[in-house]
Amino acid sequence: MANKVENLKENSNSVALSVMRTISNGLFKIGDIITFPIHYIFFNPKKKLKESTSIKGVRVDTEDCHSPFRNVKSVDKLSSLLFPDSPTLDKVWDRCAQLYANNPCMGTREIIKIYDEPLPDGRVFHKVKFGKYKWLTYKEVDIQITKLSRAICNLNLPKKSFVVIFAETRAEWQITAQACFKAGLIIVTVYATLGKEAVKSAIRECDGVILFTTSSHFGLVNEISDAIPSVKHLIYFEDRFSPTTVDLKKQQLLKELKTKFVTCELFDSFINTQEHSTEPVISNCREDDVCTIMYTSGSAGHPKGVMLTHKNIIAAVVGMLSVVTGSSKDVYAAYLPLAHILELCAEYIALSKGAKIGYSSAQTLFDNAAQIYPGTKGDTAVLKPTIMAAVPAVMDRIYKSVLDKVSNSGIISREIFNICYKRRLKRLEKGYKSLLIDRLVFKKIRNILGGHVRLIVSGGAPLSSASQRFMNVCFGCPVTQGYGLTETCGAATITEQSDLSTGYVGAPLICNEILLKECPEIGYKPSNTPPQGEILIYGDNVCKGYFNNPQKNKEEFITIDGKRYFCTGDIGEVRDDGSIKIIDRKKDLIKTSHGEYISLGKVESNLITHSLIDNICVVVDPEKSYIVALIVPNQKHLTKLAEDLRITGKSWEEICNNDRVKDAIVKELKNYGKGSLEKFEIPSKVFLCHEPWTSVNGLLTEALKLKRNPIHMKYKKEINEMYR
């Protein structure tokens, strides 16, 4: 009887859903007829489709298949100057401060109250009740920069001395960088989570004289202080969530540090030493001078110091601005690490247009972020940004989070979302808007990012087509994907806002050209249809080289026809409109014993969008015929899978180690990867890691990319067992 009732309910639901779909389709058709004149006059879908497929990049010599590709706007000449008579970053800032003096510039949220939550390991986690953003105008920021540059000059350092910034993203970080450029000094950027040995190595390699850090890093600085004798001056930003004034441990560490450095002073106090000084600061910088040594996050091993000049960064910003348009009305949410070139250039784009930069962090970005106290709005809800930069890992999380909420809603709500999503997608691909659906259905999703985002720029790693299209549909704005490396100032290509396709990274920017180098051993040639090969980049955005690493400079840079190209190691494919698709990475291509090439990045980017997977690292043994994977599973979804398998009463670690659970995951992956991967590209065995991978434990970079070598070392035993 119970089964009959359930079947009756299912049949009723099926009929109701069928009726709902029929009614919806009918209403949509009526709406199309009514709104057609409005769309034709005001939105012109045909024009949008034409712009989407327009030619964006071409070969310099159309008759030569080995000729480099350039943007159609810069075939004859590459562009690299932002403002006339402003060839260096200090001059660019001076121009911005002059143009936008009274505009709000940098904002930081007020802290109303901090709630301490003790953790099992004895540490304390801070939940924060925030208030509004407090803003400094461009003029007020300029005053701070000038005072800080005077204070630095007062230390009587030689020009081109090295200043290390070892701190999280915050207004003081950017102010410090600008002050150093003004004083003619070179900043050395180090990720806040690089770890003791990497930080020590970076400081020792460049002989840094000043160290700017946060009081939360006092312990680490104290540990390495004897190993960094070149550092004479320590200037610290206050830890906003646990100030030195109330933290007894920090107070004790500060006492010790004051005995080890000539100067050991709070940032605000250091600036105010020049409160009444009117001494002008003259930098005498030149455009080809190195202004930044940016240590890469080291996905392939030891971090490398990339030497960037004033011209490099300015050229990259010029190139990006040709696609990422902006104005003084824009608001940018700054939460990615400023030690990452993507964030540094993104902030320069905002500053060059007189926009507002609101500082945030991954722990406070959304309403449900880790450090947001319940009932408090996340940063995006308060800031209401119009432009956001994001790495794919962040977008994949948003994608999975929204899908999770939809799947857990009622059957009617799910069906409404599915109907509207398909409708919005269909309209988008034809160049139309969906005004009513956007307002009624997708508004709540848009509010995750504050409700005002008009452009999302993805970079740092490949973005899956599924995540790109999902964000595009749900947030109702272009999701452009960029391609670049630290060595090219994060810039090489970006998709046009008008481009409706997914999976491509756009045409070359107006500041650089791209050459495809033949890779005959794996069949990639510029003469192929479509053209394929290793991506080589030339332009003013290409770095000066690696600091104190002549061997690496010989390996990574090559001169062809008098032009110095950077060899990326990435394999690109150019479609008819000049846009580029990253199809492989030379180092990620591994041949199995059966002769098939496995692209690690391709497999991982396809499988990571599965709801059961939070992270994945594919492993290939060239002597074996199958591949395996290390997976960080999603705890909620894996626990549900275990329950479905009638595995209950087990700890999280026991669930991850259960063979039946692993077999079920492999089966899931085979079904999930059918349409996008070959059979041999799907892992035959998996190991489920019960501990998350983070930049803190050294398994991910700051851009949330995999650190393969450390992962392989940590799970060496488990990998060997999968290949037995």
Q: Is 404 helix (H, G, I), strand (E, B) or coil?
A: helix
> Would you state the pLDDT for residue 539?
98
Q: Mean pLDDT over residues 193-197, rounded?
A: 75
The encoded tokens of residue 240 equal 């906003």
Q: Do 89-359 and 58-77+386-585 have the same topology in CATH?
A: yes
> Would you state the pLDDT for residue 416?
86
> Would you state the pLDDT for residue 412?
84
> Would you state the pLDDT for residue 624?
87
> Per-residue pLDDT tens for 204-219?
999 999 999 999 999 9
Residue 270 CA to residue 175 CA, distance in Å, equals: 13
Residue pair 507/455 in contact (Cβ under 8 Å)? The answer is no
Q: Mean pLDDT over residues 307-319, rounded?
A: 98
For the chain, the residue count is 724
Which range is least confidently modeled, 92-106, 223-237, 585-599, 684-698?
585-599
User: What residues have CB less than 8 Å from 640, skipping those under 6 apart?
Assistant: none
CATH assignment of 592-722, given 3.30.300.30, 3.30.420.40, 3.40.1500.10, 3.40.50.620? 3.30.300.30
Residue pair 566/536 in contact (Cβ under 8 Å)? The answer is yes
Residue 243 CA to residue 238 CA, distance in Å, equals: 6
User: What is the Cα Rg of the chain in Å?
Assistant: 27
Beta-bridge mates of residue 106: 136, 357
Q: Mean pLDDT over residues 673-678, rounded?
A: 87
> Would you state the pLDDT for residue 704?
80
Beta-bridge mates of residue 70: 58
> Would you state the pLDDT for residue 231?
97
> Would you state the pLDDT for residue 298?
55
> Would you state the pLDDT for residue 449?
92
Which range is least confidently modeled, 92-106, 110-124, 152-166, 559-573?
110-124
Which range is least confidently modeled, 222-226, 403-407, 612-616?
403-407
Beta-bridge mates of residue 189: 165, 294
pLDDT band of 8, cuts 50, 70, 90: very low
Residue 170: closest CA among 91, 239, 93, 75: 239
Q: Please provide residue 294's backbone torsions phi and psi, each rounded to the nearest 5 degrees.
A: -105, 115
Residue 5: pLDDT over 60: no
Q: What angle do CA 467, 531, 594 make, to 5 degrees?
A: 75
Residue 503 CA to residue 99 CA, distance in Å, equals: 38
Edge-first strand listing for the sheet containing 545-546: 263-266, 233-237, 210-214, 162-166, 186-189, 290-295, 305-309, 545-546
Which range is least confidently modeled, 14-18, 270-274, 371-375, 667-671?
14-18
Amino acid at 194: L
Architecture of domain 89-359: 3-Layer(aba) Sandwich (3.40)
Amino acid at 410: G
The encoded tokens of residue 499 equal 């481009």
Residue 654: pLDDT over 70: yes
The encoded tokens of residue 429 equal 């691909």
Residue 3: pLDDT over 80: no
Q: What is the DSSP string of 18-81?
A: HHHHHHHHHHHHHHHHHHHHHIIIII-HHHHHHHHTS--EEESSTT-TTSPEEEGGGSS-----
More confident residue, 678 or 488: 488
pLDDT band of 175, cuts 50, 70, 90: very high
Q: What is the mean pLDDT of the chain?
A: 91
> Per-residue pLDDT tens for 41-67?
777 888 889 999 999 999 999 999 999
Residue 185 CA to residue 154 CA, distance in Å, equals: 13
Q: Mean pLDDT over residues 195-211, rounded?
A: 90
Residue 609 CA to residue 463 CA, distance in Å, equals: 10
pLDDT band of 640, cuts 50, 70, 90: very high
Residue 493 CA to residue 474 CA, distance in Å, equals: 25
Q: Taking the domains of the chain in order of start, what are their residue ranges?
A: 2-43, 58-77+386-585, 89-359, 592-722
pLDDT band of 343, cuts 50, 70, 90: very high
Residue 629 CA to residue 623 CA, distance in Å, equals: 16
Residue 495: closest CA among 518, 474, 479: 479
- Classify residue 282 as exposed, middle or buried by CB count within 10 Å of its CB (0-12, 13-18, 19+): exposed
Q: Can you list the positions of beta strands (E) in 146-203? A: 162-166, 186-189
Residue 12: pLDDT over 60: no
> Would you state the pLDDT for residue 13?
65
Residue pair 345/708 in contact (Cβ under 8 Å)? The answer is no
Residue pair 601/570 in contact (Cβ under 8 Å)? The answer is no
> Would you state the pLDDT for residue 718?
95
Residue pair 542/563 in contact (Cβ under 8 Å)? The answer is no
> Per-residue pLDDT tens for 122-166?
778 899 999 999 999 999 999 999 999 999 999 999 889 999 999
Residue 27: pLDDT over 80: no
Residue 187 CA to residue 163 CA, distance in Å, equals: 5
> Per-residue pLDDT tens for 371-394?
999 999 999 999 999 999 998 888
The encoded tokens of residue 91 equal 């001059």
> Would you state the pLDDT for residue 44?
84
Residue pair 382/109 in contact (Cβ under 8 Å)? The answer is yes
Looking up tokens 């910088």 gives 285
Residue 32: pLDDT over 80: no
Residue 413: pLDDT over 90: no
Question: How far apart, in Å, do the first and last CA atoms of the chain sit?
Answer: 51
> Would you state the pLDDT for residue 302?
65
Residue 9: pLDDT over 50: no
> Per-residue pLDDT tens for 491-511?
999 999 999 999 999 999 999
pLDDT band of 190, cuts 50, 70, 90: confident
Q: Mean pLDDT over residues 467-487, rounded?
A: 93
Residue 516: pLDDT over 70: yes
Residue pair 626/685 in contact (Cβ under 8 Å)? The answer is yes
In the chain, the percentage of residues whose pLDDT exceeds 70 is 97
Residue pair 571/582 in contact (Cβ under 8 Å)? The answer is yes
Residue 320: pLDDT over 80: yes
Q: Mean pLDDT over residues 259-271, rounded?
A: 96
Residue 646 CA to residue 357 CA, distance in Å, equals: 51
Amino acid at 468: Q
Specify the DSSP class assigned to residue 216: G
CATH number given to 58-77+386-585 = 3.40.50.12780
> Would you state the pLDDT for residue 698?
84
Residue 532: pLDDT over 80: yes
More confident residue, 369 or 554: 554
Q: Mean pLDDT over residues 476-481, rounded?
A: 93
Looking up tokens 């006492």 gives 255
Q: Please provide residue 216's backbone torsions phi and psi, each rounded to the nearest 5 degrees.
A: -65, -15
> Would you state the pLDDT for residue 297?
59
Q: Can you list the positions of beta strands (E) in 490-549? A: 493-494, 507-508, 512-517, 532-539, 545-546
Q: What is the dihedral of CA 700, 702, 704, 706, to 10 degrees?
A: -30
Q: Please provide residue 449's backbone torsions phi and psi, each rounded to the nearest 5 degrees.
A: -100, 15
